[in-house]
Amino acid sequence: MPFGEGPRICIGMRFAKMQMTAGLITLLKKYRLELAEGMETEVALQPTSITTQPIGGIYLKLIQRDGWEQRILQAST
Ligand code: HEM
């Protein structure tokens, strides 16, 4: 878990999850994501990191979705 466990678990976890959800929705309204060329489908994690971190990062392609203008306009009216 990236937020820790037990009595010292992150007190900002719910807030952080809410922000991440809002951010993901905003992103996914306009783009679909694919792994960039050459990316492995198996992820190796950094064992010395406090939070979950893939070694070498994860590179993605953001591909514009059809009709995203309508989805943005619908949300703001
Ligand atoms: C993606 C965002 C975040 C991640 C990944 C994260 C991760 C963590 C981790 C790993 C810990 C240590 C837990 C442990 O010792 O077991 C922690 C503690 C803490 N986090 Fe976060 N955190 C995030 C966002 C936030 C936010 C937004 C706030 C405040 C608004 C916050 C406030 C705190 C506090 C006060 C502690 C100390 C809790 C304690 O020691 O009792 N964090 N966080």
Instruction: Give residue 1's pLDDT.
Output: 63
Instruction: Give residue 23's pLDDT.
Output: 95
Instruction: Give residue 14's pLDDT.
Output: 97
Instruction: Give residue 69's pLDDT.
Output: 83
Instruction: Give residue 76's pLDDT.
Output: 60
Low-confidence ranges of the chain (pLDDT < 70): 1, 74-77
> If you take atom 39 of ligand 1, which residue's CA is the nearest one?
8
Which amino acid, residue 18?
Answer: M
| Residues 26 and 59 sit within 8 Å (Cβ to Cβ) | no
> If you take atom 18 of ligand 1, which residue's CA is the nearest one?
10
Q: Which atom of ligand 1 is nearest to the CA of 50?
A: 10
**DSSP percent split of the chain into helix, strand, coil, nearest 5:** 40, 15, 45
Instruction: Give residue 50's pLDDT.
Output: 79
